[in-house]
Chain A
């Protein structure tokens, strides 16, 4: 599956001029509010008609301003999950979930109802009305409703933005299961680094209506190309690995990366599971000799590959540790004192590491 998007659109003073290509998996459209990510996803969904551009999915052209092609939203079969759940208040949860089924083409293979209901944990809500659901429950139903309409592509426009942190934490695992257990490609709009780090395979960074960076999540989230200072403070490395062992008394999981072992605290996982680690760059310290007598569990030896400075007096150091890339964000002053430069051998001391089930 290849989604190719090239859109030029004007909304008052705002100019959107962005394009990207997405393969399967989760593609995140990332940027601060006003960067045009929502307009872009609305253009893909068919909710706005771009002034100029071309949108195609696997050669099926949905928009082509040159040829005057504009496929209306109901014929695109792009399931959309909005920031607000937008459930139909006059239907039960079950009625909402099955709504799209009536309009799906006969040859489409829809997700099985029971499977989606189980995946999202909404089996006990089926007879209820949307008004009687919590925000998190509503959003899960909205995701299920989109999924059950047999979509060719799932568009998610900041589905967690309207929820508090607890509700976000409640839904994120379902989104991960969705990514791993269904074959529907997802375009995920977000302004939160940790959501993108946890869910996305590829990231498209938007700024002022233009694409600033495109690439695999581990490259883009490493820092320098992130659009805001706040984002850069959250920047970090995303690493995939396999759980080697789990030590219940210490609640400590050992994850094998390409050539390193990482210990992850407070994570209950079975051995053999593929996981994704998110290591915030600000939580990585650097030492030029192997430190001793330190409480940190994870100390990786590696070689500096690149150093990028930003306008806040900070530098992002990219360290290759036998194939595993770790990023450290330290002050420029420390960089000078330690005489950091590409090619130098350093030890990365990882203070915290977050584990996401993959």
Chain B
């Protein structure tokens, strides 16, 4: 069973992938909810443009998204330079950059799922909460959010799964540096490029399948728990 034992390099790649995906989902969640709210409830000029931009990473070749990120968020890019100068946040060739790439790639899935459940919320319940004295923020926290929770969790898991498998945008934006930006997918790709790397690629593939399955089961379980809690009238 020796062939099953993961090398140090492989463990690093797995841990990095988990870290990158978790951070990507957590950091994009508040923005995802805000954008979904704007798309579902807002009435403003340029709504379809915003919708298009959000969904762009879904249709663009990942390499193009990665290149755009490189231009915008690279050290010399307009946003990257600003963030570096005023907040000390650097994306290029760091794991944070990988997380950004994953967040951008998973964002359409996150927003779409939240938006669909927002569209399904009965606004009459929100009106009722308002007449009971809850201001709009409280209405959102105590009525809307609990009702869209299944959609939020589904979106988070989709986005997480997307992040775990993200390859093209990440490798274009932050390259393939072991221990810093070499995620699971990138590590498998690297193994397939060297002679005798098949075994390592196979081990990581098994790990990837296990993580995906676990995420899927977790989402089913959460949906079951929430389904028990939320029974629509």
Give chain A's interface residues, CB within 8 Å of chain B.
Answer: 45-47, 72-80, 82, 84-90, 99-100, 102-104, 129-132, 138, 145-146, 149, 155
Contacts and interface: CB of A to CB of B under 8 A. Distances in A.
Given A77-B133, A131-B232, 5 more contacts: A74-B131, A86-B125, A89-B147, A89-B232, A90-B146
Contacts of B233: 85-87, 89, 130-131, 138
A74 B139 CA distance: 10
B85 interface: no
Name the interface size band of chain B. 20 to 34
Nearest to B146: A90
Given A89-B232, A131-B231, A99 B127 contact: no
Given A80-B128, A82-B124, A89-B147, A74 B230 contact: no
Contacts of A47: 127, 130-131
Given A99-B142, A129-B231, A131-B232, A86 B132 contact: no
A103 B132 contact: yes
A45 B231 contact: no
Given A86-B124, A86-B125, A89-B147, A74 B130 contact: yes
Contacts of A131: 231-233
A79 B131 contact: yes
Contacts of B142: 99
Given A84-B124, A99-B142, A131-B231, A45 B129 contact: no
A90 B229 contact: yes
Interface of B: 122, 124-125, 127-136, 138-139, 142-143, 146-147, 229-233
Nearest to A78: B131
Contacts of B128: 80, 82, 86, 88
A46 B131 contact: yes
B230 A100 contact: no
A149 B132 contact: yes
Nearest to B128: A86
Contacts, number: 83
A120 B132 CA distance: 18
A146 B229 contact: no
Contacts of B122: 86
A72 to B, nearest CB: 8
A347 B135 CA distance: 60
A85 B232 CA distance: 13
Contact of A74 (B135, B147, B229, B231): B135
A25 B228 CA distance: 42
A73 B130 CA distance: 6
Contacts of B134: 74, 99, 102-103
Contacts of B125: 86, 88-89
A145 to B, nearest CB: 7
Contacts of B130: 46-47, 72-74
Contacts of B124: 82, 84, 86
Given A84-B124, A89-B147, A79 B132 contact: yes
Contacts of B230: 89-90
Nearest to B229: A90
A80 B128 CA distance: 7
B230 to A, nearest CB: 5
Contacts of A80: 128, 131
Q: Give the one of B125, B132, B135 with max A CB within 10 A.
A: B132
B231 A89 contact: yes
11 contacts: A47-B127, A47-B130, A74-B136, A75-B133, A86-B127, A90-B229, A102-B133, A103-B135, A103-B138, A104-B133, A131-B232
A46 B142 CA distance: 20
